[in-house]
Amino acid sequence: MIIRFLQRHREASVALIIVLLFAILGLVDRSYLSLDTVLLVYGNSLILFVLAIGATMVMATHGLDVSVGSIMGLAAVSAGLLMNAGWSIPAAIGVALLVGLLCGLINGALVSWLKVSAIVATLGTLGLYRGLVHLLSGGSWIEDLPEGFKALTKAGSLGLSVFAWLVLVLLIVAHFGLRYTAFGRSMFAVGDNRDGARLIGIRVDEVQIAAYGLNGVLAALAGVIFASQIGFIPNTAGTGMEMRAIASSVLGGVSLLGGTGTVLGAALGAYFMTSIDSILVLLRLQAYWNDIIAGAILLVVLITDGKIREAVDRLLRYQKYRKFIEPPAAGHQADATKAGLSLKTSEARK
């Protein structure tokens, strides 16, 4: 049963490990699981949540996007410049999201149409988009963002900000959208078996490009949230976030080989990555312990997950070949003789 479950839900083993960690931390310190802490960590995780949704989609199609940090920066700078030029907040955000969409579509086109490997293509655009950030901003920080914009990440109803509500809705929509809509399923199909997906009539190139496009939009949204949260836009906005986004998704059981993963898992991973800060406080450690703990947990989860999968595979192999491998060989011919033998021995016993 458990084997079956783990086999069907690859993300489950990772989720289990994470939940276990949460439980232990909760036992050490009750306040870790208190609503206040959860809300605080949730608020700090918004950017990573949004990026993790995008990473899950791209990775589901057996893709990878390391340019999301630069897209974040580019979108934030676009929105900031427009707002400071007097555009309305929604219009500026809309343009920023369009910029993200365009960046994502370029990534997708490079990977799908021009057949450039995902890491190389997005590595190139990582530099390219970051350069555009500097060109647009003229090398200086963008400050004095409108108060109305900053208010979007200030706690509002039920202790959650506007963006926090939006992200919550996004998480739910993305989680169920990926699992239960035709488009969501086709992304997994493309990542699982590209030729097979083509055979059953899925437009694999278009699906993949769409996944990169959506990822671009989400990265742009993350950039906007980032700008709203800190109130100004440095040129380095978003730098290094790609690695955290990928790490969150991987931590949440999304496979880089495509075809498996859930948004819920990736969100758990993102939440966990962010909550390391709270853990540090709990363990009374300095902030510079953050990365080493993140790395160690990531590796422990990965290697444990790898070992679990290996054990599951071995067991399934054993079950598949059991009749050949088990010491008393039980085949149709051997069966007959063995049945005869056991009959004789049982008679002899009588």
Residues numbered 172-211 forming contacts with another protein, rule: CB under 8 A = 182, 185-186, 188-189, 192-193, 195-203
List the interface residues with another protein, window 211-240 (CB under 8 A).
235, 240
Question: Rounded to an integer, what distance in angstroms lies between the CA atom of residue 102 and that of residue 93?
Answer: 14
> Which residues of the chain form beta strands (DSSP E)?
none
7 binds another protein (CB under 8 A): yes
- Cβ neighbours of residue 316 closer than 8 Å, sequence gap 6 or more: 3, 7
Nearer to another protein, 58 or 89 (CB): 58
CB closer to another protein, 141 vs 165: 141
**Tokens 């655009």, residue?**
125
Residue 12 C-beta: closest distance to another protein, Å: 13
How far is the C-alpha of 337 from the C-alpha of 17, rounded, in Å? 49
- By CB under 8 A, tell whether 110 contacts another protein: yes
Closest approach of another protein to the CB of residue 189, in Å: 6
Measured distance CA(125)–CA(71) in Å, rounded: 9
Q: How far apart are CA 130 and CA 165, in angstroms?
A: 29
Contact segment (CB under 8 A) with another protein among 44-52, 93-101, 144-152, 256-264 equals 256-264
What values do phi and psi take at 142, rounded to 5? -100, 120
Nearer of residues 136 and 166 to another protein, judged by Cβ: 136
The window from 31-39, 115-123, 147-155, 338-346 that contacts another protein (CB under 8 A) reads 115-123
> Coil, helix or strand for 194?
helix
Q: Which of 173, 291, 339, 342 lies at the binding interface for another protein (CB under 8 A)? A: 291
User: 230 to each of 132, 145, 215, how far by Cα in Å?
Assistant: 21, 10, 23
- Figure out which of the listed residues 2, 284, 288, 350 binds another protein, where binding follows CB under 8 A: 288
Q: Which is nearer to another protein, 36 or 195 (CB)?
A: 195
Are the C-beta atoms of residues 107 and 272 closer than 8 Å to each other? Answer: no
Interface residue with another protein, options 19, 120, 155, 172 (CB under 8 A): 120
